[in-house]
Structure formats: C-alpha cells, structure tokens
A = this chain, B = another copy of it.
Amino acid sequence: MQGQMQSYPLTLVHPFERAERLFADKPIVSATPTGIQRTTYGQWAERTRRLGGVLDALGISADGRVGTFAWNSARHLELYFAAPCTGRVLHTLNIRLFPEQLQYVADHAQDEVVFADRSLLKLLWPLIDDLPSVKHVVVMDDGVEDEIPDDDRIRDYEALLADAEAVEFHVSDEDSAAAMCYTSGTTGNPKGVVYSHRSSVLHCMSSMFADTLAVSEADVILPVVPMFHANAWGLAQAGVLAGSTFVMPGPDLSPKAVAGLMESERVTFAAGVPTIWMGVLDELDGRDFSSLTRILCGGSAVPKSLSEAYREKIGVPMTQGWGMTETSPLGSVSYIRSGLRDRSEDELANLRALQGVPSPLVEIRIADPETEQAQPWDGESRGEVQCAGPWIAAGYYGGAGGEQFTDDGWLRTGDVGVITPEGYLKLVDRTKDLVKSGGEWISSVELENEIMAHPQVKEAAVIGIRDEKWGERPLACVVPEQGAELDADELRGFLDGRVAKWWIPESFEFIDEVPKTSVGKFSKKTLRERFAEIAT
C-alpha cells in the first residue's frame, strides 16, 4: 500500500525560493580586498535568477558542469544556486590544487565554463589551453587589479549579468546532480563526489537540528572553511534554507581579519579548520565576542587544548564535526549527551575531543579489518569506520574508486576508529597506516605520538615493514631535535611502559626530515618506497 503524500521533490529550488520570499531583507556580507560589501537575500535572489539567464546565454548544456574558482563571497553564493536550480552542476574547484591536479579535475568533470575571482585568474589561466571543454572563463572582479588576458574566452561577470534576463527555476528529479567536489587523496588521481539535489536538501536539514549545528534564522554565519571544501561543510546551503545572515570572509583568512569580522559583524557561528582557530587564538584579547554562540571545527582532529583555550578565554568551546567530502560532510558532531553534562570540565573536554555522535540519518559502523563484521560499541574494538545514509556517496564520478565501497554499499572512510558505549566515534588512525603484527593491529599514529613525546624528538613517522615471523613490524622514522643525542636504545627505553611491549619497534631510522604531501601531511608513501627493502 502506498502513502498518499505529495510528490514534492527535495531540490535546492526550495531553499532558494524560501529565502527569496521570506528573507529578502536579511543581509549577506562579503569581505573583499577593497572593503566590505553588503547585499540582501532579495538582491542576491534577483541576481541569481539573472545568473541563470547568463548560463543560458553562454550556451551551457542542460546539465553542464559550471566550474567555480573563487573565495567565499556573495557572488559565489549566486553560483551555488543558479547552476543547480537551472539543472546544471556546480563544480567548485579547489584553488589550492597543484596545477596538474587542477587541470585533471576540470578536464575530468568536463567543465564548460569556469567562474574565477580576478585575483585567482593567474592560477587558472596558464592551464586554459589544456582545458578544451572550458569555453568561457567568467571573471568576477574582486578589486584586485591583476591583469585580465585579452582573449575571446574571457567574459566579465557583471557585464553578463547586466544583459541577462531573470529565469524561473525548476528541477523535477531530486536524484539529479546538483554539485560536485573532488577529493584530493594522497594516492591516485582526485575523485569526484557528485551530490544530488536530494542529498543536498537533506544535508541542509541535518545542519538545522537542535542537536547538530542548530543553524537558524537568527545566526550570523562566518564560514571560514572555503566554499570549495564540500560546500563550506554544507553551511553555504543550510544557511539559505534557514535564512541566516552570512559573513563571507573573502581571501584574507589571517587571524586578524577573521577575528575582526567576528567582532564587527557580531558573528554567532563560525566554522573552520583547527589551523585557523590556532591563529585566531592570539587575537581574542580585548575583543568583544559576546555574540558568538559556537565554533565549528573539523577537517582534522581538534586538539583538546585548543577547544579548552577558547572555552577559558571566551566561554565558547569548540563543536567538533567529523566527516569528509564523501559524507557531504556532516557525519557526526561532538554533541554532549544530556546524561553526561554533569561531568567535570576536564571530562567534558575529553568528550569534545572525540569525533562525536552519528548525526540523525547517518549510520556509522566499525568493521573488523579481517572479517568485515560490525564491531561492538565498547570503546575498544577497532576497525574501519564505514558510513551509510542519504547524503553519503555511493561512488565517484566516472566510476573510479569502486574499492572504497563495501559489497552492501557502505562507504569505507579509510579511517580506523572505535565507538564508545555512549555512541561517540573516536578515530585512531588511517587504515592504510595501521601496522599488522602477529595478527594484531598497531596504531602508527599513537606510536608516533608517544615517540614525539620524547623531548629530543622533533618528528616521527611510523610505517609497517615486512617481517617473516610477525607479518609486519613497525619501523620508526625519527627526526631528532637539532643537536640531540639519540639512539634506538634510548627510545625503546622511553617507550617501555608508555605502549604495549609488542608495539615497541625493533627498527629505528634517523632521518633529517619527514617527507610531506602537497597539503602538508606526512607522506608515508614516500617513506615506504624509501625503506621498502628493509627486513627485520
């Protein structure tokens, strides 16, 4: 028997039209290199409809990919809705990619047009002749007087908008693609995650729950996280559905600029990676942050000390969110359950340092690395973190990366973790960095942390090396502090009592530097190649 409810598709046309109608007088603020620009949802909506007309006028295909190469701004938010609400697919290009990755990504997606900030044109334009699908580069003049190439493919955003007619928005299929975002994994080519209208709307809804991010109309949201990172963690869409005020930070993400906007614009909700908040920490003194109700932090584990520093200084600890491009990204939020709220401040800080409780509609399981069986939520049983839910990827654009999905369709996140009895996810390592010794797992991250606790160690990276007896054993690659006198025996003695005896490496290599990836993470791949031939 079927339900008899309206077939009302979940599409981004709804949040757009809701904001246009209900929130026309609410502000959208953009910080630009030439100063603060203020607009309203009403003006934004009118321009967004005309931008739909621009896409028609440029001859973009009915479901063509619309690339953006831009900082966070009201204009970028126009593109966020004009593309999907006319049936096209928004493709946010990461401005921090290496040129060859950028070229790969724009070509793989077959972007037909790229909308680029004038100040970023110098990163994009040198690649243009290797991007045959890109017929137009539309320049969004942000006031930076960088040269604009004299080329037929170059168009001016405001000039196009001035000539365009507003269009009606209509999308009938909620499963059609709305946006895409490539992940820059540490191995292989970047892979494209394709968000549907349905997943985007459901993700917006999930951000508005009282127990997740509680995005609301009264919020003044500062998304420091870029709009090319999983749609600014979904906030750039959720804020529109809720009718929140936006404060778009533009290119200047210096601690002073971020803290200045938080104070002057009376921000209630700010979101960014730990590095941002570490910088802003030095800018807190003497400022008025009384409007602030929460700080969302994610992208990598949030140090307890950082969250506590904010709590102590301004009374607002960090809300930790966990997820990835493939999870839209909201997977879990470090919400404190009502039954745990009477714990000590230190215990609460420990809870906030976990990756949080699965969001409603998201399922998380810990899969045994051998059997793939779901592990108990006992805080001890480790395994790969796997996810299911309506805003979790089922695959990548073009069919790549099939190995990242289980037979029953769950996403393999590549993270290793446990879940506590209270339902808190705690990440331990990346699956590929675990060392398997005698059938048991050694966490390379934990071992590294213990080695780096030695005062004469600057950096340490642990990789697995083949071992006839144990299968694998850990090899510790250690960078000593300058002038340190350090040897393997000293470190083995230091580790004794800090980790299980069988975790203690037989082998240590002393190196000058740990090789890094393009985004600054340890490149264990390089270390593995370098020490491939070592056997215990």
Q: Contact check: which of B2, B206, B210, B363 meets A196 at CB < 8 Å?
A: B2
Give the chain B neighbours of A178 by CB distance below 8 A: 3
Q: Which of A126-134, A257-265, A354-362 contacts B (4 or more CB under 8 A)?
A: A354-362
Mark each residue of chain A from 65 to 101: 1 if its CB lies under 8 Å from any CB of chain B, else 0. Answer: 0000000000000000000000001000000000000
A52 to B3 CA separation, bound complex (whole angstroms): 20
Give the chain B neighbours of A234 by CB distance below 8 A: none
Give the chain B neighbours of A18 by CB distance below 8 A: 358, 360
Residue of B whose beta carbon sits closest to that of A423:
B22
B390 lies within 8 A of A177 (CB):
no
Whether, in the assembled complex, A320 has its beta carbon less than 8 Å from a beta carbon of chain B, the answer is no
A202 to chain B, nearest CB (A): 8
B3 lies within 8 A of A338 (CB):
no
B177 lies within 8 A of A1 (CB):
yes
Give the chain B neighbours of A21 by CB distance below 8 A: 377, 423
Interface residues on A, range: 35 or more
Q: Which of A112-120, A344-352, A392-400, A443-451 contacts B (4 or more CB under 8 A)?
A: A392-400
Give the chain B neighbours of A241 by CB distance below 8 A: 360
Q: Contact check: which of B175, B194, B211 meets A208 at CB < 8 Å?
A: B211
Could you show 27 A-B contacts with beta carbons less than 8 Å apart? A1-B177, A2-B176, A2-B177, A3-B175, A3-B178, A4-B177, A4-B396, A5-B194, A5-B195, A5-B196, A5-B392, A6-B388, A6-B389, A6-B392, A6-B394, A8-B361, A8-B392, A14-B361, A14-B363, A21-B377, A22-B357, A208-B208, A209-B242, A210-B214, A211-B242, A214-B214, A218-B341
Binding site for B on A (CB under 8 A): 1-8, 10, 14-15, 18, 21-22, 25-26, 63, 89, 175-178, 193-199, 201-202, 205-206, 208-211, 214-218, 241-242, 328, 335, 337-339, 341, 357-358, 360-361, 363, 377, 388-397, 409, 411, 423
